[in-house]
Amino acid sequence: MNIIIQYLQQTNKLITSPLVVHNDLPTSDWTTLFQLLAKDNSYQGMANGRSFYQQCLPSNSLSIGFSCTSVNWLSKVPCTIANHRFYIYAEEKEREAFKHQSKLDFDAFIENRSRELVPGGILILNISSADHEGILSDLTIPVYCRSLSECVDHVWLDRCSLQLIKAELGPVNLPFFEQLQKGQLTLDEFIKIMTKTIQCAFEGSVRQALEMNGRSKEEIDQLLMEF
């Protein structure tokens, strides 16, 4: 977000201080976000706790929309994956259910952003993509990584009165793997980083599975600490 604001400042495209609306689910870590906002005076910030698969802002009110590695999360789990937790390793029918849910969600996402954008507004998406009995049975991670072709649906873009400016694939480099190989990180430091990364991404799904199985809040908190 700061990069976008700096660009607008450098090109003299900001008349007043920008208003940034941060959007995430109500269960997100809003406290950390507000602590970060308190340290940054480059823009005015607000928060909106609603699914981005719904309309989140008034129509014709958004100049620039930005989403980073988020729309790969589905609005719901379309089916339980029998022998794994992740769709890549699912059976064909299960993968097709995830693919179908992904299309429904992405269509809803694009349609709602098209309503919110002002004429001439810009939507920038950074999307995680892919080249072409007990508690664990209830833990299915609601993620689907779309291919580039699944992200670029010209028929749907035309229907929403949106014009595609640019779409490209790019690698995501994880520096801590290289740091480990070069000896810049110890194995213990690497494990701590990976643990925090996994906790951040999947803790919500694990919590939901535990709640579905009647675990108490105390048990859930303890298990998540161990997770």
In the predicted model, is pLDDT for residue 129 greater than 70?
no
Q: How far is CA 119 from the centre of its chain?
A: 25
List, for residues 17-27, the tens digit of each pLDDT value: 889 999 988 88
Give the per-residue pLDDT at 133: 42
Instruction: Return the domain boundaries, the chain.
Output: 51-172, 173-227
In this prediction, residues 181-202 reach a mean pLDDT of: 76
pTM listed for this prediction: 0.62
Structure-token match 């110890």, residue found: 186
pLDDT of residue 57: 95
Please list, residue by residue across 70-85, b when 16 or more beta carbons sit within 10 angstroms of its beta carbon and e when fewer do. Answer: ebbbbbebbbebeeeb
Q: How far is residue 88 CA from its own chain's centroid?
A: 18
Query: How many angstroms separate the CA atoms of 138 and 77, rounded?
Result: 10
* pLDDT tens-digit map of 153-176: 888 788 888 888 888 877 777 787
Q: Span 117-136, mean pLDDT?
A: 73
Q: Which CATH architecture has domain 51-172?
A: 3-Layer(aba) Sandwich (3.40)
Give the integer Cα–Cα distance in Å for 13 and 95: 45
Q: Locate tokens 């694009």: which residue?
A: 110
Q: For residues 101 and 68, which has the higher predicted lDDT (pLDDT)?
A: 101
